[in-house]
Amino acid sequence: MTKSPATRAATLHDVAREAGVSLATASRVLNGSTRKVADSYRERVEAAADKLGYSANLSAQATARGTSATIALLVANIADSYFSEVAAGVAHAAEEENLVLTIGITERSPEREARLVRSLRGQRPRGIILAASRAHVAQAPTLTKALASIEQSGARIVTLGASAEGVTSRTVGIDNSGGTRELGATLAGLGYRDALVLAAAEGLVTSDDRVSGFVEGFTAGGGSAPQILRGTLTRDAGYDLLSAALSRGVAPGTVVFGISDVMAFGAMSAVRDAGRTVGADIAIAGFGDIETGRDIVPSLTTAHAPLEDLGRLAVAAITADGWEDPGPLPVEVIVRDSTPPRT
């Protein structure tokens, strides 16, 4: 039985010939060059590539350039709407820059984060965005080593919030302290005098910044020092923490601040399951202003964080040759039905 000859993979030369353009023009279109190509030529090259089934050799490109057209986003939990909105901003900006996006989930584990960073080195990414919150404690040595190694291979490291140790990372962030300070002062101005704060374990930079900002703003506005309840940054933690507090007794008129909207959602369910009412009885506020909070009843008072803008800024920090730290993005307090004024 005679075997049919193997089909030869299309080359860049084949695409250029099919499109009737120079090899350089075909390369600029298909290899992510920043040089401008006329739309008519671009359309011809892309059509020819589709027709011939051309696929760029990304490994060869990465070897030739030292980096690839790939960036990586490492998040704690992509199911958390906070991180998914950041990821949306990263994805849109990456597409505009002709970059391919890879997403990894760290589950807030430094060892898992280190493994993901090591696995990415073979791809020679142009940059890595570390979106999981950093801790105040010393960074795990395995993660420091992995980041230093991939930086030496040409990748640019960008962190959201606190910088990473052992590398010359660029940092972008939002004004966690200032935003929650304003939120605390606003709630005190609405007449609230007692507050509970649902936070992550002490030592997580983002959580600690939001807690300290809220306490400062609330007490400066006339409120008493809030009680801090700590768990994880999840909906279930918000539910469990407030359920336990309600079983011990929470006075009507208390405002509960979840340092993330998802924790606030869990707190709302806990109030209802305890036979209490969200709003007039137990007020609830969050942080982030993810879309779900605008649709639930009552609508959630929160601090609006420009999460998609943050994701876009992280990509700009990778692609920009010259970089000036723009400072934290501003946060805006939005008062909704979950925190009615106290008379």
Same domain, 147 and 201: no
List of long-range contacts for 96-99, beta carbons under 8 Å, 24+ apart: 97/315, 97/319, 98/32, 98/69, 99/32, 99/69, 99/70, 99/71, 99/126, 99/315, 99/319
Q: Assign residue 101 the CATH number of its domain.
A: 3.40.50.2300
340 in a structural domain:
no
The per-residue pLDDT for range 222-267, each reduced to its tens digit, is 999 999 999 988 999 999 999 999 999 999 999 999 999 999 999 9
221 in a structural domain:
yes
Q: Are 166 and 139 in contact (CB under 8 A)?
A: yes
Note the pLDDT of residue 66: 46
Angle at 273 (CA atoms; ends 267, 278), nearest 5 degrees: 55
Note the pLDDT of residue 310: 94
Same domain, 215 and 197: yes
The per-residue pLDDT for range 72-119, each reduced to its tens digit, is 999 888 777 888 899 999 999 999 988 999 998 888 788 888 888 888
Residue that terminates a domain, selected from 126, 148, 172: 172
- Rounded to two decimals, the pTM is 0.78
Domain region containing 275: 176-306
Domain count, the chain: 3
259 in a structural domain:
yes
Question: In which residue ranges of the chain is pLDDT below 70?
Answer: 1-8, 31-35, 55-68, 133-134, 136-139
Same domain, 182 and 290: yes
Residue that terminates a domain, selected from 153, 172, 191: 172
Residue that terminates a domain, selected from 140, 172, 204: 172
Q: Assign residue 33 the CATH number of its domain.
A: 1.10.260.40
Same domain, 168 and 181: no
119 in a structural domain:
yes
Find all residues with CB under 8 Å of 319, minimum gap 6, and list them: 97, 99, 126, 127
Q: What are phi and psi of 88, to 5 degrees?
A: -60, -40
Picking from 29, 146, 122, the residue whose alpha carbon sits closest to that of residue 67 is 122
Cis peptide before 298 (omega within 30 of 0): yes
